[in-house]
Structure 1
Amino acid sequence: MNLEKLRKKQRILINKVYENLDRSTLQVFIFFSYLGARICYAESHPLSLFEEEKFRDFERFKSFLLHLKKAGHFSVFAHTPIFINTSGFSLEDKFDLASTFFKVFWDEEKGLALFNLRHLAENLDDQTFLYLINTEPALEEIEVSLARNSRILYQGLLSELKNELLYEEKSLFAEPEIIILKSRKGDPFNWIGVITHNFSRIFSHQFVRHTWLNFNQRSHRYTKVDKFVIPKAFTESQVKLYEETIKNGMAIYEELCKNMKRESARFIVPQGVATTVLATGPELVWRDFISKRAIPQAQEEIRDLAIFLKESLGF
Structure 2
Amino acid sequence: MESFKVHEIFSLEDFKESIPFTAIGARTCYSSGDLNYLLNDPRVVSKEERAKFLSKLGNYKHFSVFAHSFAYKDLNTLEEEKLNKIVGKELQDLPKDKKAEIAAIKIAATRFKSYYNPKYKTVIGISLRHYLEELLETDEKRYFETFNKMAEYDIPIEPLGYKDDIWLIGLLKEYDGYAVFYIDNVSRIMTHQLVRHTALNYSQRSQRYVKEDENLLIIPPSIKESNCQIENDKILKIIKDIVKEISEYIKNTDTKDSLKEKIAKRVEKFLSSEENRSIKNLFRYIDQLTEIIYDYTVYSCKIKREDARFILPHGRKTTIVVSGTLSWIKDFITKRTDPHAQWEIQKVANAMKYLLEKQNIEV
Q: What range is the shorter-chain TM-score in?
A: 0.7 to 0.9
CA contact (8 A) 2:181 2:321 kept: yes
CA contact (8 A) 2:107 2:124 kept: no
CA contact (8 A) 1:180 1:195 kept: yes
Which has the larger displacement, 267-276 or 87-96? Answer: 87-96
Q: Give the equivalent residue in structure 2 for 1:31.
A: 20
Q: CA deviation at 1:23?
A: 5.5
TM-score (norm 2): 0.69
Q: Which runs of 5+ in 2 are unaligned?
A: 84-98, 227-277, 358-362
Q: Deviations over 1:148-205 (max 9, x none)?
A: xx3xxxxxxxxxxxxxxxxxxxxxxxxxx1111224x733332111122111011111
Q: Which has the higher contact order (CA 8 A, sep 6+)?
A: 2
Q: Which runs of 5+ in 1 are unaligned?
A: 1-8, 151-176
Q: Give the equivalent residue in structure 2 for 1:85.
A: 74
Alignment partner of 2:113 out of 103, 122, 144? 103
Q: Give the equivalent residue in structure 2 for 1:116.
A: 127
Which has the larger displacement, 261-270 or 73-82? Answer: 261-270
CA contact (8 A) 1:201 1:272 kept: yes
CA contact (8 A) 2:75 2:103 kept: no
Q: Deviations over 1:61-93 (max 9, x none)?
A: 223222222321111111100222212541543
Once residues 177 and 103 of structure 2 are traced to their aligned partners in structure 1, the CA distance between those partners, rounded to angstroms, is 25
CA contact (8 A) 1:21 1:83 kept: no
Which has the larger displacement, 297-306 or 88-97? Answer: 88-97
Alignment partner of 1:13 out of 4, 9, 12? 4
How do 1:40-59 and structure 2 match up within 5 A?
40-59=29-48
The residue type equivalent to 2:17 in the other structure is: V
How do 1:168-207 and structure 2 match up within 5 A?
177-183=165-171, 186-207=173-194
Q: Give the equivalent residue in structure 2 for 1:283.
A: 326
Once residues 146 and 312 of structure 1 are traced to their aligned partners in structure 2, the CA distance between those partners, rounded to angstroms, is 7
Once residues 283 and 95 of structure 1 are traced to their aligned partners in structure 2, the CA distance between those partners, rounded to angstroms, is 19
Q: Give the equivalent residue in structure 2 for 1:269.
A: 312
Alignment partner of 1:308 out of 335, 351, 362? 351
Paired-residue identity, % = 30
CA contact (8 A) 2:45 2:156 kept: no
Larger fraction in strand? 1
Cα 1:60–1:248 change in 2 (3 A) is closer
TM-score (norm 1): 0.79
CA contact (8 A) 1:26 1:135 kept: no
Cα 1:30–1:196 change in 2 (3 A) is same
Which has the larger displacement, 43-52 or 88-97? Answer: 88-97
SS in 2 for 1:181: strand
Q: CA deviation at 1:144?
A: 2.5
Q: Give the equivalent residue in structure 2 for 1:66.
A: 55
Q: CA deviation at 1:247?
A: 1.8
Equivalent residues, number: 273
Once residues 134 and 18 of structure 1 are traced to their aligned partners in structure 2, the CA distance between those partners, rounded to angstroms, is 18
CA contact (8 A) 1:200 1:275 kept: yes
Alignment partner of 1:144 out of 119, 136, 160? 160
The residue type equivalent to 1:136 in the other structure is: Y
Q: Give the equivalent residue in structure 1 for 2:339.
A: 296
Q: Deviations over 1:34-76 (max 9, x none)?
A: 1121111101113422322233332332232222223211111
CA contact (8 A) 2:104 2:124 kept: no
Once residues 108 and 182 of structure 2 are traced to their aligned partners in structure 1, the CA distance between those partners, rounded to angstroms, is 29
The residue type equivalent to 1:246 in the other structure is: D
Q: CA deviation at 1:207?
A: 0.6
CA contact (8 A) 1:178 1:194 kept: yes
Larger fraction in helix? 2
Once residues 166 and 46 of structure 2 are traced to their aligned partners in structure 1, the CA distance between those partners, rounded to angstroms, is 28
